[in-house]
Amino acid sequence: MTQQTTQIVIIGAGPSGLALGAKLNKLGIDNIILEKQTKEYVLARIRAGILEQTTVDFLSDIDASDRLKEEGIPHHGVQLAYDNQLMQIGLGENTGGKVVTAYGQTEVTKDLCDIREKSGRSVIYQAEDVSLHDFDTDAPYVTYRTDGTNHQIYCQIIAGCDGFHGVSRASVPKAALNIFEKTYPFGWLGVLSDVPPVSAEVVYANTPRGFALCSMRSWSRSRYYIQCTPDDHIDNWSDDRFWDELRRRLPDALGEAMETGPSIEKSIAPIRSFISEPMRFGRLLLAGDAAHIVPPTGAKGLNLAFSDIFYLSEAVKAFFDKKDEAALDQYSQKALKRVWKAQRFSWYLTNLTHRFSDDPFDQRVKEAELDYIRHSVAGRQMIAENYVGMPF
Ligand code: APR
Ligand code: PHB
């Protein structure tokens, strides 16, 4: 058994864990990151790719934005499609000049891995049986195993950044968790393909055949999604069937302009809203997907991970500088306020753009809402303000 001491053990090397590690390095707070998977596995995950301005600023603050500034594509608007037409919601004009940036989560994670390597502090990959101990005392510790050797790390704080299925939230007694959850009766079938994107801005389409989304990773790589049943399987979806269905769900002009090609990734994701409160249990602080999941409509998941890390790093700085335990409690309160606002918007946009009710009343209300947005500055401002993201 090896023994080590650090100030903060970070569990998980996804965007949350790596961003926290980078921020702590800047603040001079010692930390160790433990990751269950290999680096290659972590870097192969394909997820959303729209960054809020606050996320771009945060990545810049932790020196992880050089490539993002070169390769990220600013989006000055977002498109809602319905009734065979497109409605543009200007982001800058409705928010005093704010935009979002298209840059894939895979690239963000790669940049964060690179700065971790440059910092000289490693990530311990393939850490098996990570276990959290005594986080209800002021002397927590974490144990894990690599290549058959057991290890123990003493610390002052444990940061649970290990995603929805991680060990951190699962280590908290059930009675201490307050869970809010909503599952939706559909999934998203996503395809990545090296074809030019059909639209320069993200398109969210509400159509009689179900929802469709057009996004991009670059000017030569597109990311598209269609609503499918939750029990559907990718084997049911040849590339040809996917392109045909997507085209039918887009306004004619877009469908005709859309280029198709072989898929380089195809997957089905369940859609859910989930929040576990609070985000602090003694010396364990949860962040990112370990504490909450939003439906991907609106692309808030990654952005919320960074706002959590912003609040968490402020809290631990106050904790180490002033021995201020109250700052740890404030972390949970501050982070959850922003999480609930993003949760509300993702839920709203999901309801507005998907069809999942047999009741024609529901669809008529959505159509009335879309028409309201088209003719109301206030309606467009609400969407734009939320889409670019609430300030930290
Ligand atoms: N021990 C160590 N690491 C673990 C464990 C464990 N028991 N369980 C999970 N992990 C690792 C996972 O392998 C993963 O690399 O924790 C990491 C969690 O990363 P993410 O799931 O990407 O979560 P997070 O970093 O919070 O990022 C949030 O990811 O899912 C999207 O929409 C979400 O964009 C958001 C972002
Ligand atoms: C994506 O680019 O993958 C994406 C964009 C917007 C969303 C969800 C996903 O709302």
Q: Which residues contact 213 (CB under 8 A, 6 or more apart)?
A: 188, 202, 203, 204, 205, 224, 225, 226, 297
| Cα separation, 195 vs 183, whole angstroms | 32
pLDDT > 90? residue 33 = yes
Q: What is the pLDDT of residues 299-317, one digit of tens each?
A: 999 999 999 999 999 999 9
Mean pLDDT within 45-58: 92
Taking the CB of residue 77, how many other CB atoms lie within 10 A of it? 19
Q: What is the pLDDT of residues 372-381, one digit of tens each?
A: 999 999 999 9
Residue 95 lies in a domain: no
pLDDT score recorded for residue 366: 94
pTM for the whole structure: 0.97
Specify the CATH number for the domain of residue 21. 3.50.50.60
| Cα separation, 285 vs 294, whole angstroms | 19
pLDDT score recorded for residue 198: 98
Percent of the chain with pLDDT over 70: 100
Q: Identify the domain containing residue 172 by its residue range.
A: 2-50+104-180+273-349
Residue nearest to atom 6 of ligand 2 (CA): 299
Q: Is the Cα dihedral 386, 64, 283, 314 positive or negative?
A: negative
| Cα separation, 45 vs 367, whole angstroms | 35
Q: What is the pLDDT of residues 184-234, one digit of tens each?
A: 999 999 999 999 999 999 999 999 999 999 999 999 999 999 999 999 999
pLDDT > 90? residue 323 = no
Residue 197 lies in a domain: no
In angstroms, what CA-CA distances link 46 with 152, 220, 335?
Answer: 32, 17, 25
pLDDT score recorded for residue 291: 98
pLDDT score recorded for residue 122: 87
| Cα separation, 133 vs 151, whole angstroms | 13
Give me ligand 2 centre to Cα 260, in Å.
19
pLDDT > 90? residue 48 = no
Q: Residues enclosing ligand 2, CB less than 6 A?
A: 48-50, 202, 213, 215, 223, 296-299
Residue 241 lies in a domain: no
Q: What is the pLDDT of residues 67-89, one digit of tens each?
A: 999 999 999 999 999 999 999 99
The mean pLDDT value of the chain amounts to 96
Residue 258 lies in a domain: no
Rg, the chain, Cα only: 21
- pLDDT band for position 120 (cuts 50, 70, 90): very high
Give me ligand 2 centre to Cα 104, in Å.
9
| Cα separation, 343 vs 341, whole angstroms | 5
Give me ligand 2 centre to Cα 240, in Å.
22
Residue 157 lies in a domain: yes
Q: What is the rounded end-to-end Cα distance, in angstroms, of the chain?
A: 42
How many distinct structural domains can be found in the chain? 1
pLDDT score recorded for residue 46: 81
Please name the residue ranges forming H helices in the chain: 15-27, 39-43, 53-61, 66-71, 92-95, 105-118, 167-170, 239-249, 252-257, 301-322, 325-353, 360-375, 377-388
Residue 37 lies in a domain: yes
pLDDT > 90? residue 238 = yes
Residue 17 lies in a domain: yes
Mean pLDDT within 9-24: 98
Contact assessment for residue 366 and residue 356, using Cβ atoms and an 8 Å cutoff:
no
Pocket test for ligand 1, best of 162, 285, 304 (most atoms within 8 A of CB): 162
- Asked whether 289 lines ligand 1 (CB < 6 A), one says yes
Residue 43 lies in a domain: yes
pLDDT score recorded for residue 47: 84
Q: Rounded to the nearest 5°, which phi and psi values hold at 216?
A: -145, 160
